[in-house]
Amino acid sequence: MKLAAGAFLAGAGSRLLPPSIPFRFFGAAVTFHVLAWIALLAGADDVPQFAGGLGWPLAALHLVTLGVLAMTAIGASLQLLPVATRLAVGNRRWPAAIWWLYTPGVALTACGMGTGMVTVLAAGAIAVTAALVAFALLLARNLLGAKGMPIVVAHGWGALGSLAVVIATALSLAGTYVGAPIIDRASALALHVTFAAYGFMGMLALGLAYILVPMFALSAAPDEHPAWASLAIAVLALFLAGAAAIGLAPRLLDTLAVGAGLAAVGLHLRLMAVALATGMRRNLGPSFALVRIAWALLVASLLLALAVVHDVPHDGIAPLFGLVLIGGWLLTLLLGILQRIVPFLASMHAGQVRTRGKGLPPTPSALTAVRPLAIHFISHLAALALVTLAIAAGSPLIVRLGAAAGIVGALAFGAFFATAMRRMRRSQAVARAGAMPLA
């Protein structure tokens, strides 16, 4: 059976974007990661009972969702999907233009939310929406011309459809603050949360996992039949949740949606467990410890969603659900995978600048700073644990301690990223110098 890594990497070099494109998205995500924890620290008093509304907790949430999760998803999908689908991005100016529009848009949106300046929020929302529409068009073009990995492509279509719902509901929610909502706030919020987290990000996370987990574990590609079944059940769950959000038997359909979501996740995690158990590379280090924790928190988020649906009598259940869903599952998963993607792509880019007599390019491990990642591992998990405790206890003080731990972890992750970039550029400089003719 063909290894997933071999299928994915075949001809990958010809479809690599210039390193400045994916790494600028990753670098912005690293920066917004730090700012998200700072915003949480600023809004600590409102976090334990947070249920929406302008303020720094909302800004922190969107610094994570837009600034870290979606930013990384855009950068990763622009680089990885063309390799998987065997179709190049095309005009490389568009990804750069998206970054220049999206990054300040996220900053303005978060600033407007935190300060309550509605005009700033509106300006940021317009920029973010325009950038996401441009990204959606690039993604659709790539998926339409796809020539490989149909299960990954199908997840891409699921993510794209979810993104359309996210954009529409985001405009409606932003319109609420200026007196021009498209649909009622409760329905828009339910649709936005579901299709942003489980739809757009969830579909991308599940789809790209069928590439990345076997590739890093050096295992065979997962069995497609259960993968297709998982996708079909996940799409059903989204439809059920969407119908509930617009008022069709909400408690019953939301309960069925959670059940379907658990079934889809169970099938997916079974495939991931097989890939990890049968791979030639068994020791994947702390990065995949984070991935495994994130998978457990994905299941926990669905159980907490069920608690929200059935009105479990606890004031902190809604913010706890948000924390486990966004900070627990999605952020932890992304940070674990990013620890592998960044050195991997950096090594491939360094390998493109290779000269006779200069030997092999640096390995991903040679580009990885281990100590900052060890600090990040402990700090990130401590931050999640402390904020969870703070919500359960209703304690702003513990929120501040958790946010401080999060800042330390985010800065350590930033040091890892900066080190990888510095080592990649040094390797490229050495290779280019070796290519220069002797005087």
Second-level CATH architecture of 4-8+19-350+360-421: Up-down Bundle (1.20)
Confidence check: pLDDT of 178 > 50: yes
Buried b (16+ CB within 10 A) or exposed e, 293-323: bbbebbbbbbebbbbebeeeeeebbbbbbbb
With H, G, I as helix, E, B as strand and everything else as coil, classify residue 220. strand
The DSSP-derived string for 359-421 is -SPPPTGGG--HHHHHHHHHHHHHHHHHHHHHHHHT-HHHHHHHHHHHHHHHHHHHHHHHHHH
- CA nearest neighbour of 127 among 92, 171, 76: 171
**R_g of the chain, CA atoms, integer Å:** 21
How far apart CA 149 and CA 87 sit, in angstroms, is 12
- pLDDT greater at residue 131 or residue 363: 131
Following CA atoms 53, 56, 62, 67 in sequence, which dihedral angle do they give, to the nearest 10 degrees? 160
- Binned at pLDDT 50, 70 and 90, residue 90 comes out as low
- pLDDT of amino acid 356: 43
Least confident of 147-156, 196-205, 263-272: 147-156
What is the residue extent of each domain of the chain? 4-8+19-350+360-421
Section 108-115 average pLDDT: 95
- pLDDT of amino acid 89: 67
393-398 long-range contacts, CB within 8 A, separation 24+ = 393/48, 394/48, 394/49, 394/315, 394/316, 395/48, 396/44, 396/45, 396/47, 396/48, 397/44
- pLDDT of amino acid 141: 87
Q: Residue for token digits 């002797």?
A: 438
Inter-residue contact 212 to 341 (CB < 8 Å): yes
Provide the token pair at 328. 């627990």
Residue-wise pLDDT tens digits, 68-88: 999 999 998 888 777 766 666
With H, G, I as helix, E, B as strand and everything else as coil, classify residue 149. coil
User: Which residues are paired to 93 by β-bridges?
Assistant: none
- Binned at pLDDT 50, 70 and 90, residue 425 comes out as confident
The amino acid present at 229, given as its one-letter code, is: A
Section 328-332 average pLDDT: 96
With H, G, I as helix, E, B as strand and everything else as coil, classify residue 3. strand
378-382 long-range contacts, CB within 8 A, separation 24+ = 378/409, 379/405, 379/406, 379/408, 379/409, 379/412, 380/290, 380/332, 380/335, 380/405, 380/406, 380/409, 380/413, 381/293, 382/409
User: Which residues are paired to 220 by β-bridges?
Assistant: 3
How far apart CA 257 and CA 264 sit, in angstroms, is 10
Q: Percentage of residues in the chain with pLDDT exceeding 90?
A: 61
- pLDDT of amino acid 337: 93
Rounded (to 5) percent helix, strand, coil in the chain: 80, 0, 20
How far apart CA 333 and CA 294 sit, in angstroms, is 5
Buried b (16+ CB within 10 A) or exposed e, 195-212: bbbbbbbbbbbbbbbbbb
How far apart CA 372 and CA 438 sit, in angstroms, is 40
How far apart CA 26 and CA 74 sit, in angstroms, is 9
Confidence check: pLDDT of 1 > 50: no
Residue-wise pLDDT tens digits, 292-324: 999 999 999 999 999 999 888 777 788 899 999
Q: Is 160 left (phi over 0), alpha (psi -120 to 50) or beta?
A: alpha
How high does pLDDT run on average in the chain? 88
Q: Percentage of residues in the chain with pLDDT exceeding 70?
A: 89
Inter-residue contact 60 to 36 (CB < 8 Å): yes
pTM above 0.85, yes or no: yes
How far apart CA 179 and CA 197 sit, in angstroms, is 26
How far apart CA 342 and CA 185 sit, in angstroms, is 39
Inter-residue contact 54 to 173 (CB < 8 Å): no
Q: Residue for token digits 């490229």?
A: 428
